[in-house]
């Protein structure tokens, strides 16, 4: 028996349908240098059907929490990316919200701030878009970009974030600070795989096993260092109690080969002199 939330037919680091798992995040500029952080992810999906068994509503919420980050301990933030599908009973019209619940618009934020810029938001939104593609004919709910959400530092990055998924906006100003989503259907959306360059999905059980191996390695390393420290402490104690003996011992140890060579040279010279004299 396995834990349902963790089991997901893992294959080549692809999580299958696991509900709880880890993300190993490397620096996008140095993807081969090892992880700079790790996130815990939980997917919560709900569905509502009518008496005939036809799907009326579906909701997906992806929670994320930083386990560790290279900059040190970060504040815990209860944030999530959320999407929803609604089939309207009277008309049969389908709508999908990529940013909110019950088919209503919402907002997308990635917190805490230090984890931004490493394609984590791209990964989470890609999960949302992939989920929404179950309903290709559904209309995508309105998304509004507000001017106060954009500055010279993040405006272009914010706009590119949406545009890479096929979300195109009608901007209300020349600087593209504010705008509303153009009308489109889910089938017009794109999935994005750029996150794969520096983000890896990981079975949480593998993460725990790796953590245990690392702990064991650190315990052995600490034991070795403590042993070396004990030797140094005993040597220091001996030097303090018998400084002259210790100094002579050190002198002999450092110059033993040189002194031995000189001694052998003197013995050879003495032997030659005695032979010559006789």
Separation CA 149–CA 147 (nearest Å): 5
Backbone angles phi, psi at 229, to 5 degrees: -65, -40
Tens of pLDDT along 100-116? 776 555 566 666 677 88
Where are the strands (E) in the chain, listed by range?
20-26, 35-49, 55-69, 79-87, 94-97, 139-140, 144-145, 169-171, 179-181, 199-202
pTM score: 0.76
More confident: 44 or 103: 44
pLDDT at 84 over 90: yes
Do the Cβ atoms of 94 and 138 come closer than 8 Å?
A: yes
Tens of pLDDT along 135-156? 999 999 988 888 887 777 788 8
């Amino acid at each position: 028996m396995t834990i349902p939330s963790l089991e997901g037919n893992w294959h080549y680091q692809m999580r299958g349908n696991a509900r709880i798992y880890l993300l190993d995040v490397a620096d996008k500029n140095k993807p081969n240098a090892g992880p700079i952080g790790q996130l815990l992810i939980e997917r919560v999906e709900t569905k509502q059907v009518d008496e005939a068994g036809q799907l009326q509503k579906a909701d997906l919420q992806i929670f994320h929490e930083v386990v560790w980050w290279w900059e040190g301990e970060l504040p815990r933030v209860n944030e999530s990316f959320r999407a929803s599908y609604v089939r309207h009973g009277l008309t049969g019209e389908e709508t999908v919200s990529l940013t909110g619940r019950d088919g209503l618009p919402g907002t997308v934020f990635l917190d805490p701030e230090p984890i931004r810029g490493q394609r984590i938001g791209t990964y989470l939104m890609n999960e949302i878009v992939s989920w929404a593609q179950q309903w290709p004919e559904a209309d995508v709910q309105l998304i509004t970009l507000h001017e106060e959400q954009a500055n010279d530092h993040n405006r272009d990055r914010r706009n590119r974030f949406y545009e890479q998924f096929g979300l195109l906006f009608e901007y209300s100003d020349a600087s593209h600070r504010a705008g509303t989503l153009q009308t489109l259907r889910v089938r017009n959306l794109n999935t994005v795989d750029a996150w794969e360059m520096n983000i890896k999905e990981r079975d949480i059980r593998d993460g725990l096993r790796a953590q245990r191996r690392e702990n064991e390695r650190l315990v052995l390393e600490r034991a070795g260092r403590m042993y070396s420290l004990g030797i140094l402490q005993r040597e220091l104690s001996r030097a303090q109690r018998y400084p002259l003996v210790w100094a002579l011992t050190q002198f002999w140890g450092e110059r033993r080969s040189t002194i031995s060579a000189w001694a052998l040279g003197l013995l050879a010279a003495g032997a030659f002199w005695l032979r010559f004299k006789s």
